[in-house]
Structure 1
Amino acid sequence: MRLVLYTHPAFLGSHSQAHFARMLTEAYRARGHSVELRQPEPVLQARVPRGTGSKWAGYVDQYLLFPQRIRADLRRDPPHTLYVFCDQALGPWMPLVAHRPHVVHCHDLLALRSALGDIAENPTSFTGRVYQRYIRRGFQHARHFISISQKSRADLHRYGEVLPVTSEVVYNGLNHPYVPQEEAVALQTLSNAGLPASEAGYLLHVGGGQWYKNSVGVVRLYGVHAAEEVAAGRCPLPLWMVSPPPDARLQAAIAMLPPQAEVRFFSGLSTQVLEALYSHARVMLFPSLAEGFGWPIVEAQACGCPVITTDEAPMTEVGGDACTYLPRLRSTDDLAVAAWALHGAGVLRSVLGRSLQKRERVRAAGLAHAARFSAEAAIEAYLAVYQHVLSLESLRQPSPQEESHDRITMSP
């Protein structure tokens, strides 16, 4: 196949999207396919000092200058080319390519749902609402989609209001071959990284600090658990958070903890150190309010770590029967948060109190479940969808509007 991949400009600093595009490019080339990666260059953005002006200059590069390059490239591309959009947020470019064979990778619709007022915890500014509608109008021109979860596909259809010809689900594959580290190895790895841990372990949370990660909820739940441990005459396990430094709200929650409790923050860790963290953790707390996928759930399971997460999709899709589930925290009201944290602490107590036999059963179930999320399997599934799309598109009769578009685009 001849594939053209469109992705976000490097100047946006989207590491996950850059990794995804790079992974696809390398995997497809390794299988003998012709692959070209296309993205906007910082023509105007590089000339403007950082700040609001730089942001708007980036928009000019993406939505005024880059479309000119797309049109020029289309004139040269052979007709059998398949155009792959690495993210549905690239929607503004899709009308330019909609008359050609194409596929759109859909990750999550959280920004669009927020802009439509569906997520109370994440209000969106006026310009943000306009921007998300601009993106949606673009990807509504697309005919073929691949979503990372059933939840993302459902959101795409409901909030994106698309009418696709094909809409498939391919679960993400792990971007690192996570495996359990033996206790001595994990402890040594952590010590070498300047993160000495006791043999008793710790509670773990892995997240980027975004609103939907529910970091305050994690600390409030931990606070109830720590208070219960102190009341029983025991020293509570520390809470280790792989997350950015705490903001004011999170600092306020930490200030309410009993003095025997301990919360530590880490960021910028290597995958080897993260693997050790998962391997030595007693439990990973991941009570997200929403997710597009929920990588840490599978990563923890692949390392043999039990997971407590939210009883809603896509967390239930990703975690399967190998996770323990909590109801979603649905209010920022202090009494509601306190009640939720009390319930969560009870669930945590139950998980920590499991017998050795039960722990081993859950560990084995998690390892087996995580094995389903193979990067190689995901790549092969993508390629199968691509081949199917090319077959369908070869039989499709272009509309008069598309034939006119082709004549305009292909004219010298």
Structure 2
Amino acid sequence: MRIVLFTHPSFMASQSMPRFARMLQQAYQALGHEVDVWSPTAKVHAWVPSGRLSKWAGYIDQYLLFPLWVRRAAAREPADTLFVMADQALGPWVPLVKHRALVVHVHDLLALRSALGEVPQNPTRFTGRMYQRYIRRGFAQAQHFICISQRTLDDLRRVGGVAPVTCKVVHNGLNQRFARTPALEARALLRRAGLPVPDAGLLLHVSGNQWYKNVGGVIRIYARYATAQANPLPLWLVGVSQTDAVREALNEVPAQGQVHFLHGIDHALLQAAYSLARAFLFPSLAEGFGWPIVEAQACGCPVITTDDAPMNEIGGPHTDYLPLLRSTDDMALWAARGARVLEKLLNEPAQAQSERTDACMTWSRRFESERAIAAYLQIYEGVMARHPTNADHALARIPS
């Protein structure tokens, strides 16, 4: 099968989607498929790489110059080429190839929901609202979609304005290997990095400072927990910066509490931290998928997250859930409840802890990348078979 994979340009600040596209490219090529990756190059943006006009220079490259190139390049592609958009945010390019065999991967619609006023915690300015409508107007012209969760699929149908021929859920596969690091090895790795772990372990949270990660809620749960303990476990915040909101939450942590901020740790150290953590705190207000939930479980770490989709879809039956925090006015009661859930988890008998660890690792295997890749290719094959220009072309079989 020949696949043309569209992805975001390398000059964009966020590189999660280009990483996703590279993962797809490498996996498909390893299975014998021919893959080209198409993305805008920095022409105008190269002249304005930073400053207020940088974003607009990038838009010229993405939405004026790149489409001119795509029209010429797509016209030269064989009739049995499959076009794949690695992200629904590439919607403005959908009309360029909408009459060809095309599949759109849909990750999350948080930005669109914010633009529609559904997320009061993340207000969107006028230009942002217009931009999200521009993206939606594009991807709504596609017919075949792959969504990373049932929540994403529901949102796509509810606010996406689509009339899909096919629309299926395929859970993300981990694009890096996560597995439990033996305790002695994990402690040695962290010690050499200057990160000693108390014998009793640690509590962990991994994120950036995005509004929906609820870092303030994580710290306030910890504050309630630490207040009731003579020697509380330390809380490690990986990837979190000390914003004003974070510092405000830190004021509630008692003197015996310890909150550590970690940045730039490599994969081996993160895996070691997951493996030694007694609990992973991830009470998000929203997620597109919730990668860290699966990463923690793959390392045998029990998770406390939000009882809302997609977190409860991804976390499964061996996770502890908190109600969604709907208002900061409810923070005190919500954090106290979170602390009680945490204390109960930490006080589980040793046998129950061991069984939960095994169950978490077993559950995480359903998110192995090989399963996702096989499911993607099966859907691609079905789209190729449906598309009229491909009716007379034999499809490459998916290697077993």
The alignment's TM-score, normalised by the length of structure 1, stands at 0.93
| Pairing of 1:8-407 with structure 2 (within 5 A) | 8-229=8-229, 234-333=230-329, 336-394=330-388
CA distance in 1 between counterparts of 2:239 and 2:177 reads 22
* CA-to-aligned-CA distance 1:223-262 (integer Å, 9 cap, x gap): 1111111xxxx21111101123210011111022111111
Give the C-alpha shift of residue 209 in structure 1: 1.6
Give the C-alpha shift of residue 396 in structure 1: 8.9
Describe the shift of the 1:396–1:28 C-alpha distance in structure 2 as closer, same or farther (beyond 3 A): closer
CA distance in 1 between counterparts of 2:212 and 2:345 reads 24
CA distance in 2 between counterparts of 1:349 and 1:321 reads 19
Unaligned ranges ≥5, structure 2: 392-400
Give the C-alpha shift of residue 75 in structure 1: 1.6
Which residue is equivalent to 2:394?
Answer: none
Give the C-alpha shift of residue 177 in structure 1: 2.0
SS at match of 2:4: strand
Give the C-alpha shift of residue 194 in structure 1: 2.2
Answer whether contact 2:178 2:299 (CA < 8 A) is retained: yes
The alignment's TM-score, normalised by the length of structure 2, stands at 0.96
CA distance in 2 between counterparts of 1:271 and 1:159 reads 36
Describe the shift of the 1:224–1:88 C-alpha distance in structure 2 as closer, same or farther (beyond 3 A): same
* CA-to-aligned-CA distance 1:341-382 (integer Å, 9 cap, x gap): 011111111101101111112112111100111101111110
Answer whether contact 2:171 2:367 (CA < 8 A) is retained: yes
* CA-to-aligned-CA distance 1:26-59 (integer Å, 9 cap, x gap): 1111111111000000110110151111110000
SS at match of 1:11: coil
Give the C-alpha shift of residue 128 in structure 1: 0.5
CA distance in 1 between counterparts of 2:270 and 2:254 reads 27
SS at match of 1:284: strand
* CA-to-aligned-CA distance 1:42-98 (integer Å, 9 cap, x gap): 110110151111110000100011000110111211111100000000000101110
Give the C-alpha shift of residue 269 in structure 1: 1.8
SS at match of 2:118: coil
CA distance in 2 between counterparts of 1:161 and 1:353 reads 48
CA distance in 1 between counterparts of 2:348 and 2:231 reads 19
CA distance in 1 between counterparts of 2:353 and 2:231 reads 22
Unaligned ranges ≥5, structure 1: 398-412
RMSD, aligned CA: 1.2
The aligned amino acid for 2:94 is M
